[in-house]
Every structure is written in structure tokens, then in C-alpha cells.
Amino acid sequence: MERARKVANRAILKRLVNESKQSRNGEMSSRSPVSYTPSRYVSSLSPFGSKNHSRSDSLGAKNVSNNVGFGVGSQIRSISVEALKSSDTFPRRHNSATPEEQTNMAESCGFDSLDALIDATVPKAIRIDSMKFPKFDGGLTESQMIEHMKDLESKNKIFKSFIGMGYYNTHVPPVILRNIMENPAWYTQYTPYQAEISQGRLESLLNFQTMITDLTGLPMSNASLLDEGTAAAEAMAMCNNIVKGKKKTFIIANNCHPQTIDICKTRADGFDLKVITADLKDIDYSSGDVCGVLVQYPGTEGEILDYGEFVKNAHAQGVKVVMATDLLALIMLKPPGELGADIVVGSAQRFGVPMGYGGPHAAFLATSQEYKRMMPGRIIGVSVDSSGKPALRMAMQTREQHIRRDKATSNICTAQALLANMAAMYAVYHGPEGLKTIAQRVHGLAGAFAVGLKKLGNIEVQGLPFFDTVKVTCADAHAIADAAYKSEINLRVVDAKTITVSFDETTTLDDLDKLFKVFAGGKPVSFTAASLAPEVENAIPSGLLRQSSYLTHQIFNMYHTEHELLRYLHKLQSKDLSLCHSMIPLGSCTMKLNATTEMMPVTWPGFTDIHPFAPSEQAQGYQQRVNFKSSVY
């Protein structure tokens, strides 16, 4: 790693020395503007691009006949329209090769210009005459881009979300937001293919895997997947592979999130699998053709069920059990591994990653050692370096598509490294006790809401245990949802008489009081959320309460103040080669092409705090952006 940094620094120093020499030689050789070569650091649009040019203009001003005078006796040369346009254009800031350098490179390939190279490369049969975009044809400058994104953000409306369904508001610790999400030393390098220049990221991803194995109660985890739905689809493919494709039916319980069910159905076609959706009590394995079953824990409507007997029954029929779960819930619930689940999937979104209108987010997949070679995605392993010291590397990466092609264990992109790093550091920052405090508080808020609804009357709260989501039966669900909408609150309407309300770490007592007013239907509310606290009890059965320890490794028990985590993050980033040091040879195609101007809006609240199932009229900025992309592509 140190050698790579030294080589990069020497190359940069050599380039700067050469440029300095060329600049001095150019000043001594001629005063003529003809000899001027535009610098990559000065706008090529401006006619005042160099000292030489300016000096020669001033010396030769008396001989210029086409000057435009400003004032009596003054003579200065005319200014072109191009010179008056904004100079903060994308190309000159992000394409470092000058026109002369581009020509030289093209000539090295045997062509007079870059256009000639492209003309010889791209077949005429696939070309189009032109691409015209009414507003963007000229390209936006960086400042125009920021203004445009601010305009789009202003068209999004941020309502308080209680929709749930696997997406929750979260507090992103500022130390993580600023030093990972907004830090090019973390986001420009991505997949750690080359271990010798990736030890920092590898350690962070190992933290992610440790977090997942501890919370799920299973010994093996990958280093993230795309989202919960695709993770469930990957688990479905694993079940098919475990039985070598001999059983072609996969059952999904109807208490799973709707989007997960839809994704599994879509992906099943590619595996020639039959997907059946059924109520838990109606699931039947008698056909002998079932390879696996997927259940949700807690369910999409909030219910917590004891799957112990369900899992035993499935195993007795030779059926593998996939359990989709919630990491924050597992702080309080018995881990799926202890219930006998074979594969556990879910999303790490609520661990410090904003909703972002649906993603991207880091998903996870955990399983037993028995199925490790069938797992999708990347696995970080502990090894030793050439000196015999402990080191990290990507293990079993030959299973990926770019190497094994059709025999790969996954046929989609298999990681969200940056977001997995954020989720891992969220766990490092809070530690086991901090996460327990958050989980208990969220559960307590849900409990206080249930107690308050019972006091209001005319509303039935589900009798099943819950963690963060309360299911409510009422006379008119749509009327309540409309009243909530007027208070800038989003609820989930399940059917005409059913609503669910999901709570998260951003929920406050004031939010509960607003909800009580909504559900009271205009009647006065005689209590406050704070007054209900003494009446709130734990809603989780003792048999399903977590007893096992988690996050016991020292890494989760050391960095609980901002300055401590800041130092840890910088310690890790100093071990990696990123765009901050040089070009990156492998594993960065996703992020290194993004300009800072393009990255800035990613963390603006108007884009980050919208639930993917919020009404479309609240996301007009997103809709406009998507519609433009659709018209382009």
C-alpha cells in the first residue's frame, strides 16, 4: 500500500515539474499569441487564457483595427459571446486531457483526431443522426446543475412517514455522513478486489458481516446485497440449488412485504420455479416438489409469530426455510438462527442509511457453513500476508459472474459496499447498548400508541405481539388516512378497514400526540403520549425475547464518541488507495465517475427522507427526474 502511494506521488510530482518547465520555455520562446497552448486549468472559452496572450495583446493594441471603443480614446479588442458564458463547465473540470493531449493520443492509435477514432470505431448501422434535448442540449454548468437539483428538491414534499414495509426514517450520525458518505476517500473506491490496497474497506465490511451473524444467529454472512427483495430472490435460488433443481416450487407466506413477493415472482421465471403465495396456516408440502418457503419476522403488518414448530415441520418435509427479518427488531427478538431458519435475509437500511425514495440500501444474507459455497455475493475472510501478519481479503470471489459467467452463484450485481460500510459503522458507533436503547424506545413508542388507541375507543388494535408496527381495524381506513394526510402524515392503508402504523428512531412523543388527534376524528383527546408511559408494557412474549448476546467483539465497544469514531474512520481510510491518491485500477467503476456536484444532492433531505411508497404527488421532483431519464433512454 505504501509503495503504491509513493509511486503515485512520484508520478504526480514528475508531471508538475514537466508542466512547469514547459511553461517557462513557452514564455521565453515567443510573445506571439499563436504559440499559446490552452491550459487544462483555465477555461478554453476565455480569450484571456495566459499571461503571454494578454501581454502580446497589450503590446500590439495600436495595430488592431477591429477594436470596439468604450469611452473616448480607449481601444480594446472585441469580446465574443462564448467568452461571456459561464466558465464552470463539467468537461474542463472532469476531463483532464487537453485538446492537444487528446489529439496526441488519437494519433498514437493512428488517427488524426478523436472524432476520426470514434468514426472508425462505431459502426454506422447503429448510429443516430443526432440527440436533441430541449433544455439540456448545451449541458448544464456545475452551478446550474446545483440550482436545477434544488428546484427538483423543492418539488418533493417531506411528510412524516409511518408506512413501514421495510423502510424507516433513521438518524444518520453526522460523523458517518461527513466522513463516509460525503468523503471521496470512502466513496470513490468501491469493491475491494485488490486486498493490498483495500485493507480499510475490508475491515469495515468484516464488521458488517460480524454484525449480521451476531444479530441473525447464523455463522456465515456475505458482505451485502442490493436490497431485501433481491436478497430474498437470491435465497430462493439457493434453495433451488441446494436440491440441485429437483424441486421446482417455492412458497411465500402472505405475511411478507408485497415488494418482496413481486421480486421473487419475477426472478422465479429465470429459474423455471413456480411461486405459490399462501397464508401460513394453509401452507402445504404434500406435493413433494417444494424446495423452500419464505416467511417474514416480524410480519409486514407487524405481527410477531413463533416459527419454531413451523420450521420443524418444514424440515421434516425436506423444505428449507428462508426468513426475512429486521435488524433493529432482532436486538429484542430471538434470532432466526435459534428458531432453526436455514437462510436469513433483510435490509440494513434503518441502521443509518436514509430511505432515499427506495434506495439503494445494503441488504444481507446469512446462512450456515453447510451452504457457504452456494451463497451469492462477496465474503470477507481473515488471512495472512506475505510477512505472516493477519490480513483481510475477499474469499471465494471466483463465484462471481465476471469470472464464472453462467455458473456464478449470482447473476446480478452483488454488493452495496458504501452503504454496508455506513450500516456497519452505525453499529460500531452505537454499540450493543446503544442499539438496545434505540430498539426499546421504538418498541415503547409503538406500545404507547396501542394503549392510546384503546383509550380512544371505536378502534381495534391487533391482539398479536408486535415490535414497531401496530395494526389497527377501524370503520373507515381511508378517512383516517386522509385526515393524517392533512397533517402531513403518511399511513399505510392495508384495506378499507385496516391501517398499520410503523415507528422508528426519529419518532417523537409529539408525533404520537398528532396521531392521536388524527385517530380521534375531531373529538378531544384527554391524554398525552407522555402520560401513557406508566401503562406501557413489553408486547413481546417471553419465549421470543432475545437472551443471547450480540456485538461482543471489541470493535463494537470502543468507538462511541464522535472523536473516537472519527479517528477510527481515518485510520481505515489511510490503508486504502482511492481517487484521493491516484486512479484506481479495479473495483471503482460505480463511484469514481461521479462529480462532487452530482454527489451533493444525494444527502439533501428533500431527496433522502421520502418513503418509496409515499403518494406520487409528494415526490414530484423525483417524478420529473425519472421522466426526463425515460425520455432520454
CATH number for the domain that contains residue 362: 3.40.640.10
Most distant pair of Cα atoms in the chain: their distance: 101
Where does a domain end: 387, 422, 457? 422
Is 408 within a domain? Answer: yes
Contact 255, 323 (CB under 8 A): no
Do 318 and 414 fall into the same domain?
Answer: yes
Is 396 within a domain? Answer: yes
Beta strands 498-502 and 492-495 are antiparallel
Where does a domain end: 111, 126, 141? 126
Do 381 and 290 fall into the same domain?
Answer: yes
C-alpha cell recorded at residue 122: 462505431
Is 104 within a domain? Answer: yes
Q: What is the pLDDT of residue 50?
A: 40
For residues 141-150, average pLDDT? 94
Q: How far apart are CA 213 and CA 229, in angstroms?
A: 19
User: What value does the mean pLDDT of the chain take?
Assistant: 87
Which of the two residues, 7 and 459, has the higher pLDDT score?
A: 459
Q: What is the pLDDT of residue 193?
A: 81
First to last CA, the chain: 41
C-alpha cell recorded at residue 10: 512520484
Residue 36: C-alpha distances to residues 32, 76, 231, 246 (Å): 8, 20, 57, 73
Look at the chain and report how many structural domains it folds into.
2
Supply the range of the domain harboring residue 203: 188-422
Which of the two residues, 78 and 178, has the higher pLDDT score?
A: 178
User: What are the counts of helices (DSSP H) followed by strands (DSSP E) for the chain?
Assistant: 22, 15
Q: Which of 131, 156, 159, 182 shows the shortest CA–CA distance to 625? A: 156
Do 226 and 110 fall into the same domain?
Answer: no
Is 306 within a domain? Answer: yes
Do 117 and 261 fall into the same domain?
Answer: no
Write the DSSP symbol of residue 221: E
Is 404 within a domain? Answer: yes
Q: Is a pLDDT exceeding 80 seen at residue 630?
A: no
Q: What is the pLDDT of residue 6?
A: 59
Do 110 and 221 fall into the same domain?
Answer: no
Q: What is the pLDDT of residue 190?
A: 74
Q: Band the pLDDT of 278: cuts 50, 70, 90.
A: very high
Q: Is a pLDDT exceeding 80 seen at residue 433?
A: yes
Q: What is the pLDDT of residue 70?
A: 46
- Per residue in 479-538, pLDDT (tens digit) is 999 999 999 999 999 999 999 999 999 999 999 999 999 999 999 999 999 999 999 999
Burial environment of residue 386 by CB neighbours within 10 A (0 to 12, 13 to 18, 19 or more): exposed
Is 459 within a domain? Answer: no
Is 241 within a domain? Answer: yes
DSSP helix/strand/coil, 466: strand
C-alpha cell recorded at residue 602: 444525494
Do 396 and 263 fall into the same domain?
Answer: yes
Q: What is the pLDDT of residue 587?
A: 56
Write the DSSP symbol of residue 242: H
Q: How far apart are CA 201 and CA 119, in angstroms?
A: 41
Burial environment of residue 370 by CB neighbours within 10 A (0 to 12, 13 to 18, 19 or more): exposed
Q: What is the pLDDT of residue 77?
A: 74
Do 337 and 228 fall into the same domain?
Answer: yes
Q: Band the pLDDT of 12: cuts 50, 70, 90.
A: low
Burial 313-328 (b: 16+ CB within 10 A, else e): ebeeeebbbbbbbbbb
- Top mean pLDDT of 106-115, 127-136, 285-294 is at 285-294
Q: How far apart are CA 204 and CA 222, in angstroms?
A: 13
Do 115 and 250 fall into the same domain?
Answer: no
DSSP helix/strand/coil, 41: coil
DSSP helix/strand/coil, 520: helix
Ramachandran quadrant class, 165 (left: phi over 0; alpha: psi -120 to 50; beta: rest): left
- Per residue in 318-346, pLDDT (tens digit) is 999 999 999 999 999 999 999 999 999 99
Q: Is a pLDDT exceeding 70 seen at residue 55?
A: no
Q: What is the pLDDT of residue 421?
A: 97
Q: Is a pLDDT exceeding 80 seen at residue 158?
A: yes
Contact 518, 459 (CB under 8 A): no
For residues 76-98, average pLDDT? 84
Residue 10: C-alpha distances to residues 5, 197, 250, 546, 577 (Å): 9, 17, 58, 55, 15
Q: Band the pLDDT of 134: cuts 50, 70, 90.
A: low
Q: Band the pLDDT of 44: cuts 50, 70, 90.
A: very low
- Per residue in 592-628, pLDDT (tens digit) is 667 899 899 999 999 999 999 999 999 999 998 765 4
Q: Is a pLDDT exceeding 80 seen at residue 562?
A: yes
Contacts of 147 (CB under 8 A, 6+ apart): none
Is 9 within a domain? Answer: no
Instruction: Tell me which of 36-45, 123-132, 177-186, 529-538 is least confident.
Output: 36-45
Where does a domain end: 422, 455, 484? 422
Q: What is the pLDDT of residue 592?
A: 60
Do 119 and 193 fall into the same domain?
Answer: no
Q: Which residues pair with 392 in a beta bridge?
A: 382
Write the DSSP symbol of residue 601: G
Instruction: Tell me which of 63-72, 308-317, 557-566, 570-579 is least confident.
Output: 63-72
- Which uninterrupted H or E stretch holds 425? helix 417-456
Burial environment of residue 479 by CB neighbours within 10 A (0 to 12, 13 to 18, 19 or more): exposed
